[in-house]
Structures are given as structure tokens and as C-alpha cells.
Amino acid sequence: MDLLTDDATGQFVVATESGSRYVLDLDRRVLRRAPGPVFQELRRLRRDGESIDLIEIVECRIGHRMVLRIDLNAPGVLVTTRISTAVVRIDPLPT
């Protein structure tokens, strides 16, 4: 698949150019990010490997940066925008 929209349901793995993998559970509205092996120490983001509340998929399309609005549950911060490197794969997970 080449596009994932905010109104989709199910679970998906999104792979990015940097080798990072995002597992998006659109039924539970959460995501989990695993950084790529090359950038694991250099490009670590807050809450990597943890479930993060997903507010909105702004863009998720092959060849484009993925843009997500998330809630990191940080005091005083309602919404964080997370932008990935270009998406190279979007795969649905079997249910």
C-alpha cells in the first residue's frame, strides 16, 4: 500500500528511509517507534519503544515524510508533531 490515512482501522508497520519502524495501531490510537540500527543512538526520540498516544495521522505516504500528531503526556504539552524521514513501506499487520 502506498498511503495510510487517519480514518483507517487496523494495525500497520511503517518503515522509513532511516530504517526506523513505526507500528501504528489505529484501533487503539497508539504507536510505537523503533529507531533504525544505524541511527539507534544518534537519533533516539523521546519514548522510543514505548506506546505513545496517536492523535492524528497528518500524512503517511510512500516517498514523503510521515507527519503525526502525538501526545507524549509531557506536563504542559498538549500535542507534539513528529516528522519522520521518507516512508519506504507501509504494511498491514494480520489481525
Give the tens place of pLDDT for each residue, 55-74. 999 999 999 999 999 998 87
How far lies 65's CA from each of 14, 27, 76, in Å? Answer: 11, 23, 27
* pTM, to two decimals: 0.85
pLDDT, position 70: 95
Calpha distance 48→23 (Å, rounded):
11
Calpha distance 66→74 (Å, rounded):
22
pLDDT in tens, 15-52: 999 888 999 999 999 999 887 665 555 555 555 557 89
Place of cell 511503517: 14
